[in-house]
Amino acid sequence: MWILRKVMMIGGEPRTVYFVVFVLSYSRLSYVGVIFAPLEITTFIHLHDEAFRYFGGLHEKCVYD
């Protein structure tokens, strides 16, 4: 999992965009969550849940880097 922050021009104005990236180690299948506010624990849990849904369920082991 990576948490990245980037300032981008959106609608002609600079906006800070935050990305959370979840990657399955064997298949390298990735899920990218995008938000426009600093990451809080409730948002992280919500994005984590979305990633599990995208991947098709819970996996045997989660490793955080």
Which string of b and e fits 27-64 if b means at least 16 CB within 10 Å? Answer: eeeebebebeeeeeeeeeeebbeebeeeeeeeeeeeee
Q: What is the pLDDT of residues 44-60, one digit of tens each?
A: 899 999 999 999 987 77
How large a percentage of the chain has pLDDT more than 90? Answer: 43
Radius of gyration of the chain from its Cα atoms, rounded to whole angstroms: 13
- The rounded percent of the chain whose pLDDT value lies above 70 is 97
